[in-house]
């Protein structure tokens, strides 16, 4: 079994959600440029005598029970992070980052393995050359492309090449909430910006470690020939190179998109720096989580080779939301038409600061003991 130490270092804000929405004044309060994650049980227990109905029959929210001096009492807070939501509405929501039982952020192995699978599929396409036709995509949105995946990786889970690849969860900061910031995000088009979205995200330059295993036994079994693994073993041997090849292709497309827009100079500069980054042979760039985009989670450019078939896919799965006043899509139009970015405010205007989810992925083979 080939065993590797892996390291993920965040280069831009990274959000991997746990499915929860944190509500202002109920789950969090924001004061002095910082956001406090409330320990509701402690607050409600110690301030039970204040839980009295108002004239309208409503009860105060946990965050409304706190005084200024309570901000110094760490027992009331699970963790505190830099940043604050733009919205001050009572039930303004913030997307929560996935954490362990001690509120420490981590990167699920399933998220990393999914990104690696996408990169391997994109690279392997030109070797396997699956026939691209409408029926291969399927009709159900949740299962779209399963037929193509089976041609690339194996006809069912028992025959799937990535049955041999095991990726652990990756852990980093030791303290609750450490490494997290509250980020304001927006959806960008080449002409405009969408409504603000608030979320917990890892800041740049946070390191996570884990392990990756390639199960050689499955390649050496007598049944290996029947399983069909051997002919694609080199995909895993070349994992880093294939991930980097996929990322560089995507980065060049992103440079083109932002240059054409002309509205987001910081984003253009960032992607040019990323494209020209000098990496070691054991390193690759990879995008994870929220904001990875359609091309970061699908077969991407391969699906767009036949512009008429692709337009039918867009229509069948309702992938394009028509905006009032905009001309209808036609074959060959760019897709997707939007990107997601972390924002900052400068001179009262929202400015795109950085994309989401880019990490430096490193693999180091462990020495046999």
CA angle 35, 38, 40 (to 5 degrees): 165
Place of tokens 């430096």: 360
When pLDDT is averaged across residues 301-329 and rounded to a whole number, the result is: 82
Q: Check if the beta carbon of residue 156 is closer than 8 Å to that of residue 228.
A: no
The answer to whether the beta carbons of residues 177 and 37 sit under 8 Å apart is: yes
**pLDDT at residue 319, as a whole number:** 82
In this prediction, residue 325 carries a pLDDT of: 64
Burial class (CB in 10 A: 0-12, 13-18, 19+), 327: exposed
Q: What are the distances in angstroms from CA 121 to CA 149, 239, 244, 335?
A: 8, 11, 13, 20
Extents of the domains making up the chain: 2-24+85-365
- For β-strands 180-189 and 207-214, DSSP reports them as unpaired
- H or E stretch including 8? strand 2-10
Q: What is the 3-state secondary structure (H, E, C) of 124-173?
A: HHHHHCCCCCHHHHCCCHHHCCHHHHHHHHCCCHHHCHHHHEEECCEECC
pLDDT of residue 369 exceeding 60, the answer is no
pLDDT at 326 over 80: no
pLDDT the model gives residue 224: 67
pLDDT averaged over every residue in the chain? 91
State the pLDDT confidence band at 320, using cuts at 50, 70 and 90. confident
- In the structure encoding, which two tokens stand for residue 304, read together? 């767009």
Is pLDDT at 227 greater than 70 in this prediction? no
Q: What pLDDT is attached to residue 143? A: 64
Helix (H) or strand (E) holding 239: helix 239-261
At residue 203, the pLDDT reads: 98
**Of residues 20 and 310, which shows the higher confidence score?**
20
What pLDDT is recorded for position 368? 66
What is the percent of the chain with per-residue pLDDT over 70, rounded to a whole number?
A: 96
């Amino acid at each position: 079994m080939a065993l590797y130490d892996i390291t993920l270092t965040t280069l831009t804000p990274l959000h991997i959600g746990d499915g929860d929405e944190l509500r202002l004044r109920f789950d969090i309060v924001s004061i002095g440029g910082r956001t406090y994650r409330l320990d509701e049980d402690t607050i409600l227990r110690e301030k039970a005598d204040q839980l009295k109905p108002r004239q309208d029959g409503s009860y105060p929210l946990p965050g409304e029970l706190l005084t200024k001096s309570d901000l110094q009492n760490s027992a009331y807070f699970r963790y505190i992070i830099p940043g604050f939501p733009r919205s001050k509405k009572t039930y303004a929501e913030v997307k929560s980052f996935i954490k362990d039982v001690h509120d420490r952020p981590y990167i699920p192995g399933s998220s990393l393995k999914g990104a690696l699978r996408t990169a391997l599929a994109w690279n392997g396409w030109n070797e396997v050359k699956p026939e691209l036709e409408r029926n291969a995509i399927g009709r159900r949105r949740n299962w779209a492309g399963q037929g193509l995946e089976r041609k690339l990786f194996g006809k069912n889970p028992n025959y799937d090449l990535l049955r041999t690849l095991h990726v652990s969860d990756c852990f980093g900061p030791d303290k609750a909430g450490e490494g997290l910031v509250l980020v304001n995000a927006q959806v960008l088009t080449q002409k405009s910006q969408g409504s603000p979205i608030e979320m917990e995200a890892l800041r740049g330059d946070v390191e996570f470690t884990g392990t990756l295993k390639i199960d050689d036994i499955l390649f050496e079994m007598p049944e290996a020939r029947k399983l069909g693994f051997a002919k694609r073993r080199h995909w895993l041997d070349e994992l880093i190179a294939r991930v980097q090849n996929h990322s560089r292709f995507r980065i060049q497309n992103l440079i083109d998109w932002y240059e054409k827009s002309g509205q987001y100079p910081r984003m253009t500069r960032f992607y040019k720096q990323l494209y020209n980054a000098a990496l070691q042979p054991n390193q690759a760039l990879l995008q994870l989580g929220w904001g990875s985009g359609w091309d970061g989670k699908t077969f991407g450019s391969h699906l767009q080779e036949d512009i008429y078939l692709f337009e039918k896919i867009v229509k069948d799965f309702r992938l394009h939301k028509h905006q009032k006043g905009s001309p209808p899509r036609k074959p060959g139009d760019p897709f997707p038409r939007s990107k997601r970015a972390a924002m900052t405010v400068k001179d009262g205007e929202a400015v795109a600061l950085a994309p989401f989810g880019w990490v430096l992925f490193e693999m180091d083979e462990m020495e046999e003991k």
